[in-house]
Amino acid sequence: MFIGAHVSVAKGLSTAVSYGESVGCESIQVFAKSPRRWEGPPTDPDAGRRFAAERAEAGIRTAYTHTAYLINLASVDDAMWHRSVDALADEITRARLLAADGVATHLGTHPSGESDAAADRIASGIRRAFARAGGDDSSSTRLLLENTAGAGTTYGRSVAAIGAVLARCEPIRPLLGVCLDTCHAHAAGIDLRDDSGWSHLLSEIEEECGPDTVRLVHANDCMFELGSHRDRHAWIGEGKLGSDAFKAMLGRPELDGVSVVTEMPGEVPVKDAENIRRLKVLRGDVL
């Protein structure tokens, strides 16, 4: 597994790479544009090529982007849905220009929660976004559907709900995958505090979503109790998941080759360097 962190691109892509290298990243995640705006300056293809070359030279094996928080593919408001589809198409295009391995996205909210109607709406939006982005089947960039903490009527709390969207996305299914957030899973009531919990979850993902679907893990401890539906990240080993959960994760053969990034509160570079170090120590314990 390749361990790293979400890093800022506020000072440019090259600075993000050098920062990632300085804190020990083997993988990085970035925002390809502001996560709190619908639009942003276009991604320069030359800058994208430099980013890919620089991260390879720095030994950063994989890179991912994360979509803007505004996107709601489950929305029943047509104007919001169409705007979300356009924004997702833009995010896919940007990720491809950066030669990213994948782009993680939240799926949104629907009045009926995790219903067939919501799955239909989301899948339709994903198919349309790929069509808008050009449907580049030669790209290795996957769209990764991220699980949620299950608050309110958000979509993606359960593995079955994510699988329902994937099942509705033929023929672009090979371009899709799953981003698993450990904090979200814990908050949603999925117990990952030991190996048996991981075994159960990964078996369910394979059954509902298909084999080798998980491409990225957001490795975040959780400040609140199991099933709290509260998405508050804690440093590795300092939350309610605890170090044993991440040690079990890092020992799962089903996750060989998967990228792991932390998304931590705190001051840079300490928050990233320390949490990456903790994960690498745990990885060393199970190798």
- Write the pLDDT tens digit of every residue in 179-205: 999 999 999 999 999 999 999 999 999
- CATH code linked to domain 25-286: 3.20.20.150
* Beta strand pairing call for 259-262 and 2-6: parallel
User: How many angstroms separate the most distant Cα atoms in the chain?
Assistant: 51
Q: pLDDT band at 139, cuts 50/70/90?
A: confident
> Tens digits of per-residue pLDDT, 37-95?
999 999 999 999 999 999 999 999 999 999 999 999 999 999 999 999 999 999 999 99
Distance CA 149, CA 227 (A): 8
pLDDT in tens, 239-265: 999 999 999 999 999 999 999 999 999
**Single pTM value for the model:** 0.97
pLDDT tens profile 204-250: 999 999 999 999 999 999 999 999 999 999 999 999 999 999 999 99
